[in-house]
Amino acid sequence: MSMKAIAAVDKNWGIGNKGDLLFHIPDDMKFFRETTRGAAVIMGRRTLESFPGQKPLPGRLNIVLTRDPAFAPEGVVVARGPDEAEKAALDSGRPVFVIGGGEIYALMLDRCDECLITKVDAEAEADAYFPDLDKTPGWHMAEEGAELEREGLKFRFTTYRKR
């Protein structure tokens, strides 16, 4: 069983700003929902808090990685470190996806063997980033989908794999 990361990034590998996604592209949201449905998803506390009502994603095992010892919301598995998060995810027997935010992607990237990246052909003001896989040794773009456009935004679905 392997772990994958999934994210939408701008030209500078930005993923978020002030706790929100940079882009709300319906095709990307649908891809995320369909890809992660039934899976174990690993995220940071701030990512969970960015969801509607700060509630876990339905139909998934939500694993929240946090250093906050008092953090124990209903409906999630709390992990205090990357090893604990990975073990909980892999022990579930479900596909595993790291879903953010920036610190969690950086912390968990070495444990992943594939990244599903929606590349948006735009620049946005960002304060959270995905590691730049084009410059990260050991990673390469294995698949690149056709350019799509929605509401004036051009984007494409790509898959990066570890060499």
- % of the chain at pLDDT higher than 70: 99
Please give, one letter per residue, the 3-state secondary structure of the chain: CCEEEEEEECCCCEEEECCEECCCCHHHHHHHHHHHCCCEEEEEHHHHHHCHHHCCCCCCEEEEECCCCCCCCCCCEEECCHHHHHHHHHHCCCCEEEEECHHHHHHHHHHEEEEEEEEECCCCCCCEECCCCCCCCCEEEEEECCCEEECCEEEEEEEEEEC
Closest C-alpha to 112, from 97, 102, 132, 95: 97
pTM here is 0.97
Q: What is the CATH number of domain 3-162?
A: 3.40.430.10
Closest-CA residue to 163 (of 141, 147, 135) = 141
* Confidence band for 51, pLDDT divided at 50, 70 and 90: very high
d(CA 64, CA 62): 6
Task: State the average pLDDT over residues 138-160.
Answer: 97
Average pLDDT of the chain, as a whole number: 96
pLDDT for residue 1 is more than 90: no
39 confidence band (pLDDT: 50, 70, 90): very high
Mean pLDDT of the region 31-59: 96
Residue pointed to by tokens 């929902």: 33
| Domains in the chain: boundaries | 3-162
